Amino acid sequence: MKILYICREKNYLINRNFFENNLCNADFGFFLLSLKTFAKVDILTVKDILKNDFTYDYNYTFIDAKIRMTCPLEVLTNVLKNKIKSNVSIYLGYDRLIVPQDIIDFERSFNVDYYFITNLLKDIGKYKLSHQLEKKIHITFHGLGFLNIPYDLKNNHFPIIKTNKDYKFNIFYSGKIYGTNTTRAKVLSFVKNLKYINNINVNCYSKQDAHKHSLSPNEYINATRQAKINLVLSGNQNNMTYRFYEVLYLKAFFLIDSGILNYQISDNFENKESFVFENLEQLYSLINFYLKHDDEREFLLSTLLKNFEKIYNPQKHRKEIFDLLFNN
């Protein structure tokens, strides 16, 4: 089986290496790997498809919704409709929340089978779509940021990582920050000023300074695994981020803000009150508890990892996608 995945040129140029080496990177790394478990996947840009020598020879097509960020969708539609000869589904991996227009515009342009969304809300009614369109929406999962984690397609597994107990930090966080009113900004300001807790490693920086202060993949992996508590905070648009998937893959303990409770993925995890905080007072209480109770922290982590491993599996997700597309 052959699948065509159409992405915007910027994403292709930045992520070409991970496409070719089966790395679970960026927002769509996990989704692409899931497709690759049952099909040969060609990743092309609109520019590639416009070439005179392009010949459509595919069983199915996925379009990354971000292609509309480079050109009006109406223009793209006129180009692609004459080139695509198969059914189409849309991958929606925006950092921000999905809005109705994201889906309605594609409905007007293509005969879309399904929409696969990373930040999928529990309450689908908030998208304000018709019941018919709601039935087309399905969850998928973020890739592992830019950790450069390969997936073995032949044997269907990620590299095996053991839980670390050689700690260097009590609390760790590293990432971009915008403004002062987001959940992320408020939490980090609070944590950086905590008294009576040492070995706090908070590395936050502006988008403009990212090249100076962002950690390399190996530095980030090591710091995450060397921390007793990692902070997983809503993105600068109060959205789900890679970090949730990263810390779980790296088998590292974390506390996360209550923004996660808005998303379907949270339904896969038990005892959420044990690691989700709704305010700074709860965060402070959880930090104090888990720094003093290693056994409880490690037991909770083992439970979270079991929950995560049940869902974060390209082979399993492949079946979900394949059944939707071809067995419905």
How does DSSP classify residue 145? B
Parallel, antiparallel, or unpaired: how do β-strands 40-45 and 137-139 relate?
Answer: unpaired
pLDDT value, residue 237 = 73
pLDDT value, residue 239 = 83
The C-alpha atoms of residue 59 and residue 2 are separated, in whole angstroms, by: 5
Q: What is the mean pLDDT of each run of 10 residues along the chain (328 residues)?
A: 93 86 94 97 91 92 91 82 92 86 90 95 94 96 95 95 95 87 88 94 89 91 98 85 96 97 95 97 98 98 97 96 92
Element (H, E) at 240: none
| Type of residue at 60 | Y
Domains contained in the chain, CATH given: 2-141+314-326 (3.40.50), 169-311 (3.40.50.2000)
Q: Are 82 and 110 in contact, with CB atoms under 8 Å apart?
A: no
Q: If you search the block for the tokens 């060397």, which residue do you land on?
A: 226
Say what angle helices 29-36 and 314-326 make with each other, to 10 degrees: 70
**22 burial via Cβ count (<10 Å: 0-12, 13-18, 19+):** middle
Nearest to 30 by CA among 260, 318, 253, 263: 318
pLDDT value, residue 190 = 96
Question: How many angstroms from the chain centroid is the CA of residue 149?
Answer: 14
Q: Are 27 and 118 in contact, with CB atoms under 8 Å apart?
A: yes
